[in-house]
Amino acid sequence: MNQAADLDELSLFRDMARRAFEQEITPHYEQWEADKMVPRALWHRLGDAGLLGPDVEEQYGGAGASPHVTLAMIEELSAMGFGGFASGYGIHNNIVAPYLSRHGTEEQKAHWLPRMVTGEVVGALAMTEPGAGSDVQSIRTHAVRDGDDWVLNGSKIFITNGIHADLVIVAAITDPGKGAKGTSLFLVDAHAPGFEKSRKIDKIGQHTSDTALLFFNDVRLPAEALLGEENSGFIIMMNELPRERLGIAAQAIAASEGALDITVQYVQEREAFGQKIGQFQNTRFKLADVKTEITLNRAFYEQCARQYAEGRLTADTAAMLKLASCEMQCRVADQCLQLFGGYGYTAEYPISRFYVDARIQTIYGGSSEIMRELVARSILGR
């Protein structure tokens, strides 16, 4: 597909997404924030609208679009202030589906992908554990062979889509003597005996993201539940991290743009000391700084997105992108909220949601500290 056709496809999907999100999400989002959960039916409605798995191959029910389309959907949700659901949407479409598409067998893809596209199946990725966060090499969840089957035991924490999930890709140790090289990935049916979901974890932001603690108590998995080769899990996760971090950057930049948009509108309407807030030099300079930061980060993001499409996005470049964009998002949200004054600190004004939803972005998907270490290694070696 040529570049003009790619842009036409992207524009088509963006327009379709905006209309669907405005219809299906906007009228209800405040209530879902209060409920701290989106309804399971939302996934079905987005599936019906053709907005799930857009870059899944057509033979499995997707549109066969480029990854840019999935990233654009994440951007639209984030810019509209739906940060919590944007995270869950990203896990399902930008992580779990690509894991399956790139590493699954034909049987695995045929079994799971069509139902992910319709919303019948919601996907989650389970790497983080109570004692292993950004350091995925320290996981303790393990799977042992029992005949042709595997038996899975352990727990995972902070799992996005954990409550709604029907399919969970679980990282587990399969060869304890090999460290990270003894890690495998499994496609785990969340309805299997021994699979237990905790109550939803209460967070300071991203309330509509159903984050859960998961337990695996002698969960019996068939041999075909193994994703990729045995003991290749760590390599697969490392290879897929650039796309995950690209998706998080998409959230960061689009959410920052959304926060700026509503702030510009507010300062042009609100008055103090006999003039619009937007007429004060401090306001104008703050907005100029914010706009400049967003523009620089978007340019870097677009460059990285092109590199990913061409198979050239490296782990250290993706780490720089995540580090820069997420730190920027937190600064932008803080500056924009400040311009709302006391109103910005109330839940009534959407800027407060942009603020609290931003904070996790420098933590999940690899913390800013880990991103700095990865970049430093690319410069200095270990």
Which residue is it, tokens 């654009």?
A: 72
Token pair for residue 276? 């619009």
CA distances from 142 to 123, 136, 146, 172, 252 (A): 21, 13, 13, 5, 34
Q: Is 28 exposed, middle or buried (0-12, 13-18, 19+ CB in 10 A)?
A: middle
Q: Catalytic residue among 244, 293, 302, 369, which? A: 244
Taking the alpha carbons of 7, 12, 15, 21 in that order, is the dihedral positive or negative?
Answer: negative
Beta pairing, strands 142-146 & 123-126: unpaired
Task: Kindly report the length of the chain.
Answer: 382
If phi over 0 gives left and psi between -120 and 50 gives alpha, with beta otherwise, what is residue 316? Answer: alpha
Contact 257, 294 (CB under 8 A): yes
Asked about 327 being catalytic, the answer comes back as no
Candidates 122, 225, 243, 137; CA nearest to 181 is 137
| 3-state SS class at 214 | strand
**Catalytic residue positions, numbered:** 244
